[in-house]
């Protein structure tokens, strides 16, 4: 039987021209036209160069390539941002301590005053006196008579429609009531409710600022002696003024200097209060109203502060305005 050709005629002719023989290759059964291209039939320049180099030079070539790759990796590593270290509690404590050492922070009382002050109003009771009477004039209203200050106190807006809480004794007997808001707006006001047993009056201002801010009220259920408080008002007409202190006691009783009225369930505090503070808010360090300043105690019957003030709990005060309890 005839032996099949191991090489194509073209390879054979080449073999004849070179004059040398090549080892037999296994017969694949494929003609040159049907032989699939080898994955390495189109080698890269680097591979073709490697085939023409000696083993020593090939090793040197791959060494250079490896060094270039290493240098490229180092370059990327150096250009990348360093990994962020996770913050620890010690880092946070150190940052807070540095802030406290390098920055002057507002006091708790200052923050409480900032919150409540837009809701605090000056309350003036006016009456008509003859021109010969002493007093500060506000313009003549009748022949020979002018409006003068009958009393000066403080109030706090509890509803942004212009509803104000104050003390009854501040407005009692006044022919006209004037309120002055924190932005300087002046308005007359009417009494819409009273609670004589707690010396409270509810006013409705006839004009209010466009951006009226009402105070926030909070329950007194969790108050305790030692809690910090701020009293805001117009002592002797000066203000608004703020004084800070603590709650000295709860559920206190107080009898008016004339002995005509006994008030109960009062908050005792030591923040300075004087005539003119009456009707003003007693607030927490969060600026929330817990009481309405109503009286000061002085065993000598003088109208000056000796360290004991009293406020009606806001629950009682709010009920005077028909507001639901907390």
Q: Which residue is catalytic, options 169, 241, 243, 270?
A: 169
Which residue carries 């002085």 as its tokens? 298
Task: Report pLDDT for 6.
Answer: 46
Which residue carries 């509810």 as its tokens? 202
Count of CB atoms within 10 A of residue 271's CB?
A: 25
Count of CB atoms within 10 A of residue 49's CB?
A: 13
172 shares its domain with 237: no
Domain contains 20: no
127 classed as catalytic: no
Count of domains forming the chain? 2
Half-sphere exposure of 93 (CA within 13 A, CB side): 3
In terms of residue numbers, what domain contains 301? 228-320
182 shares its domain with 247: no
Q: Which residue is catalytic, options 119, 150, 187, 199?
A: 199
Which residues of the chain are modeled with pLDDT < 70? 1-59, 61, 76-83, 130-146, 258-259, 324-326
169 classed as catalytic: yes
Q: Which tens digits make up the pLDDT trace of 204-247?
A: 999 999 999 999 999 999 999 999 999 999 999 998 999 999 99
CATH label of the domain that carries residue 148: 2.40.10.10
Domain contains 67: no
Sign of torsion, CA 92 94 97 98? negative
Domain contains 98: no
Domain contains 111: no
């Amino acid at each position: 039987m005839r032996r099949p050709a191991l090489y194509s005629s073209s390879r054979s002719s080449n073999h004849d021209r070179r004059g040398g023989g090549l080892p037999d290759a296994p017969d694949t059964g494929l003609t040159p036209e049907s032989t699939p291209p080898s994955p390495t039939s189109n080698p890269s320049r680097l591979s073709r160069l490697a085939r023409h180099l000696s083993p020593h030079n090939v090793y040197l070539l791959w060494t250079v390539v490896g060094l270039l790759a290493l240098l490229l990796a180092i370059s990327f590593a150096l250009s990348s941002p360093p990994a962020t270290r996770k913050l620890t509690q010690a880092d946070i404590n150190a940052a807070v301590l540095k802030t406290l050492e390098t920055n002057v922070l507002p006091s708790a009382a200052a923050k409480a005053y900032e919150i409540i002050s837009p809701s605090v109003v000056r309350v003036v009771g006016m009456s008509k006196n003859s021109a010969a009477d002493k007093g500060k004039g506000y313009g003549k209203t009748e022949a020979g008579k002018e409006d003068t200050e009958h009393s000066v106190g403080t109030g706090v807006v509890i509803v942004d429609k212009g509803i104000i809480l104050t003390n009854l004794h501040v407005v009692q007997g006044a022919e006209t009531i004037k309120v002055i808001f924190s932005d300087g707006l002046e308005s007359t006001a009417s009494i819409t409710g009273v609670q004589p047993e707690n010396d409270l009056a509810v006013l409705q201002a006839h004009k209010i600022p466009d951006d009226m801010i009402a105070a926030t009220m909070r329950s007194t259920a969790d108050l305790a002696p030692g809690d910090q408080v701020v009293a805001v008002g117009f002592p002797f007409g000066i203000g608004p003024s703020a004084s800070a202190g603590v709650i000295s006691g709860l559920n206190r009783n107080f009898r008016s200097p004339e002995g005509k009225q006994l008030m109960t369930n009062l908050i005792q505090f030591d923040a300075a209060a004087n005539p003119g503070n009456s009707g003003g808010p007693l607030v927490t360090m969060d600026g929330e109203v817990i009481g309405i300043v109503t009286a000061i105690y002085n065993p000598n019957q003088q109208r000056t502060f000796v360290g004991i003030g009293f406020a009606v709990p806001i629950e009682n005060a709010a009920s005077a305005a028909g507001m639901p309890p907390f």
